[in-house]
Amino acid sequence: MKKMLHEELAVPGYERVVYLDDPSVGLKAIVSIHNTNLGPSCGGIRMLPYASKEEALKDVLALSKGMSYKSALAGIGFGGGKSVIIGDPTKKDPELFAAFGEFLEMFEGKYIAAKDMNISSDDLRMIKKRSRYVLGIDGEPGSSGDPSPVTARGILRGLEATVEEVFGKKSLKGLKVAIQGIGHVGFSLAQMIVQQGGQIWVSDIDQKALDRASKELGAHIVSNDAIYDVDCDVFSPCARGGTLNQQTIARFKCKAVVGCANNQLAEERDGLRLHERGILYAPDYAVNSGGIINIFVEYEGYDQRKAMTMADGIYDTMNEIYSRAKLAKTAPFLVTDKLAEERLYGRN
């Protein structure tokens, strides 16, 4: 740690934010602990070639706060934290990850790391050589493994609550769902929808994923642009964020939006655009918390059945959000932050 230069950054509303510069291995990183009221902060490590320290800081602050809210809504004993490594993810050095592990030890368990963008289980293994505070490593004894099944289960419960709110029934039989992105979570979600008698339309940049969805699930394949025009009951964004915007929302022929992608709204105004069109939007961080639930169960001693049961609680959370939104006569996404803050800070 002698070669490491760390700088404590004072950020209002955040418990601790630290910037690290270790020139000996070329490591520049930031750990942000937003809140630990409910338990130790937990959130993934993201590695990106940020243009500047300021850009990285903006990202990690937003992500760590989002994790506080997501964990609070999920009803788990984690607070919100996140970390970013400023660097080229195509050029990974084991010594860099070892140094990052030493950095983690500084926080003495107040921040627990897991995978996020451009970080693999192999990377986590290198970090774990120097730190005790790492979870979610595939193949490790007691690991929670692939979170996709639990995440998809949570999305399904959010979908059921939304369908019940819109159509007055929980059953997905006959439901038409357009799924944008048929990766691990999207495919698991699609499977469950089809098993319950629903129909799916899918788009993806991966032709092999599309072929599999067509062959195994009887999915209707559409282009990446045409997915916005599908005449369906529910649009499900399960790929990149920001796909709900002024242009796409104007094209929608659905009654609801429920998906697993993060940061689905291009801007807050898009949540209001959906509401004004009479399209019920399930806020992404309220329904896609299966991943952090999976990690929390690993933290306590992994049992997938327990993780699935906890993910089922997303159904009740969504019902509460919709009930509050109706009472307040406003869009559901506007009351979701308030509910999270009540759980996080214990205030009304």
Instruction: Render pLDDT for 84-105 as a digit per residue (tens, 0 to 9).
Output: 999 999 889 999 999 999 999 9
Query: Do residues 39 and 49 make contact, with C-beta atoms less than 8 angstroms apart?
Result: no
What residues are paired with 113 via a beta bridge?
Answer: 43, 134
Closest CA to 236 of 179, 176, 298: 179
Domains within the chain, CATH numbers bracketed? 5-63+78-128 (3.40.50.10860), 148-345 (3.40.50.720)
Per-residue pLDDT, 184: 86
- Top pLDDT among 263 and 204 is at 204
pTM of the model: 0.89
Amino acid type, 184: H
Per-residue pLDDT, 52: 94
The 8-class DSSP code of residue 241 comes to S
Per-residue pLDDT, 145: 79
Per-residue pLDDT, 1: 45
Instruction: Tell me the per-residue pLDDT of 132-159, one tens digit each, with 9 for 90 and over.
Output: 999 999 888 888 878 889 999 999 999 9
Residue 197: pLDDT above 50? Answer: yes
What mean pLDDT is predicted for residues 258-274? Answer: 93
What residues are paired with 82 via a beta bridge?
Answer: 32
3-state secondary structure of 269: helix
Per-residue pLDDT, 3: 62
Helix (H) or strand (E) holding 57, with range, is helix 53-74
CA gap 243, 167 in Å, rounded = 25
User: In the structure encoding, which two tokens stand for residue 111, read together?
Assistant: 């921040």
Instruction: Tell me the per-residue pLDDT of 280-332, one tens digit each, with 9 for 90 and over.
Output: 999 999 999 999 999 999 999 999 999 999 999 999 999 999 999 999 999 99
Distances in whole angstroms, Cα of residue 290 to Cα of each of 224, 260, 285: 26, 10, 10
Residue 2: pLDDT above 70? Answer: no
Query: 66 CB contacts (<8 Å, ≥6 apart)?
Result: 80, 82, 285
Closest CA to 113 of 34, 43, 35, 16: 43
Query: Do residues 311 and 154 make contact, with C-beta atoms less than 8 angstroms apart?
Result: yes
Residue with tokens 């993201």: 46
The DSSP-derived string for 119-183 is --HHHHHHHHTT-S-B---TTSTT-----HHHHHHHHHHHHHHHHHHHHS----TT-EEEEE--S
Mean pLDDT, rounded, of the chain: 93
Confidence of residue 347 (pLDDT cuts 50, 70, 90): low
Which one of the listed residues 70, 82, 176, 255 is annotated catalytic? 82
Instruction: Tell me the per-residue pLDDT of 27-81, one tens digit each, with 9 for 90 and over.
Output: 999 999 999 999 999 999 999 999 999 999 998 998 899 899 999 999 999 999 9
Q: What is the CA radius of gyration of the chain?
A: 20
| Residue positions counted in the chain | 348
Percent of the chain scoring above 90 in pLDDT: 85
Q: Is 28 a catalytic residue?
A: no
User: In the structure encoding, which two tokens stand for residue 27, read together?
Assistant: 């490591």
Amino acid type, 62: A
